[in-house]
Amino acid sequence: MATLILSDGTTFTGQPFGAEVDTDGEVVFNTGMVGYPESMTDPSYRGQILVFTYPLIGNYGVPSEELNEWGFSKNFESEAIHVRAIIVAQESRDFSHFTAVSSLHEWMKKHGIPGITGIDTRALTKKLRERGVMLGRVTQDDTNDPSKSEHIPDPNADNLVAEVSVTSPVTYEPQLAEGTHPVATILAYDCGMKRNIIRSWLKRGVRVHRVPWDYDLATSSLKYDGVFVSNGPGDPKQCRETIAQIQWVLERKIPFFGICLGNQLLALAIGGDTYKLKYGHRGANQPCVEEGTSRCIITSQNHGFAVDETLPSGWRVWWRNANDGTVEGIRHESGQFFSVQFHPEAAPGPEDANYLFDECLRVVTGAR
């Protein structure tokens, strides 16, 4: 038996799968129906125990861990599993998919990640919605010892971005026809960047300089047309160095685009504020409305923090969540600096917002 113990002493007991080890973290839930390999390898889940609300997980297995021609993962959102554990209603050892090479159980066992199956995930999710996300501990027994819910460290107290960022610059060249050149060069701050973001730039013919979260632009010799800041884990206020670099970019009127954590860091860089959501937005079915229009798109999301409504002069709320009204994007009146809280690159999820990469390119190429 294995048990999930929440910080308030509540326990959920089920059967172990994957690696039979103990762990702890922040317990969050994801409402997506598909995409467990992408979610589990998303660096934004660093330090978290992930509850899947969809009742059957593992039925299409796990694809290969091969790298692509650029040297990063071909099939996942990073080269490692970043969740500390997963909690499911039913885990399937039987799988069927033309890309699958392993069961979810074997993949998790290989990487030392525990799971619990046979949990009433509806009851667990309801508790998290009512009480808010909580710290939790996975133990490989059926104990109800309340002392095990004590002294669970909060991963958000650490700089998780520093744990998942690249440590030195890497440049990726797009595959182009002979005699042609990249349409633009983007300097991308890797705060835990999902690999489909890199793929999204490369397939548009963009050269990407992927740099560490604390990379100093003032001393950089890299040439670029615009700056991008990626998604990433944890509390945005931990990323003071990245915030300072965004301010440097804005002062020099260099085109800027941010996704997820990049949206929060842009808000902090301009003097705005961020706050922690009660239970966050995690899934592939979040509707967002563009302010001042009737456009509504369905988006993929994974965040536990949000941008406060109050913005300085010259800035406005660009997108808003149709479910709870929270800010989902901000934009400067010049049109040169903007960001979104959701994930235009999807992986997993709908691609309604994929056009925002093209919108960024139009700004970047027009600013040359």
- What domains lie within the chain, and their CATH numbers? 2-155 (3.50.30.20), 161-366 (3.40.50.880)
Report whether the peptide linkage leading into residue 350 is cis, meaning its omega lies within 30 degrees of zero. no
Q: Which pTM value belongs to this model?
A: 0.97
Per-residue pLDDT tens digits for 236-248: 999 999 999 999 9
Catalytic residue among 288, 303, 343, 360: 343
Provide the 8-state DSSP code for 144: -
pLDDT over threshold 70, residue 368: no
On the question of pLDDT at 334 being above 80, the answer is yes
Give the DSSP letter string of 26-93: EEEEE--SS-HHHHHT-GGGTTEEEEE-SSEESTT-EE---B-TTSSBSSSSSSS---SEEE-SEE-S
Secondary structure tally for the chain: helices H, strands E: 8, 21
- By mean pLDDT, which of 119-123, 142-146, 223-227, 236-240 is the weakest? 142-146
Are 90 and 101 a contacting pair, CB within 8 Å? no
Q: Which helix (H) or strand (E) holds 184?
A: strand 184-189
The active-site residue out of 82, 281, 345, 360 is 345
pLDDT exceeds cutoff 70 at 228: yes
Q: Is 181 labeled as catalytic in the residue annotation? A: no
Q: Give the count of beta carbons closer than 10 Å to the beta carbon of residue 184.
A: 23
- Find, among 144, 163, 126, 131, the residue nearest to 48 by Cα: 163
**Residue 142 binned pLDDT confidence (cut-offs 50, 70, 90):** confident
Q: Which of 260, 303, 328, 360 is catalytic?
A: 260
Active site residue 345: yes
Mean pLDDT of 263-288: 98
| pLDDT tens-digit readout, 212-223 | 999 999 999 999
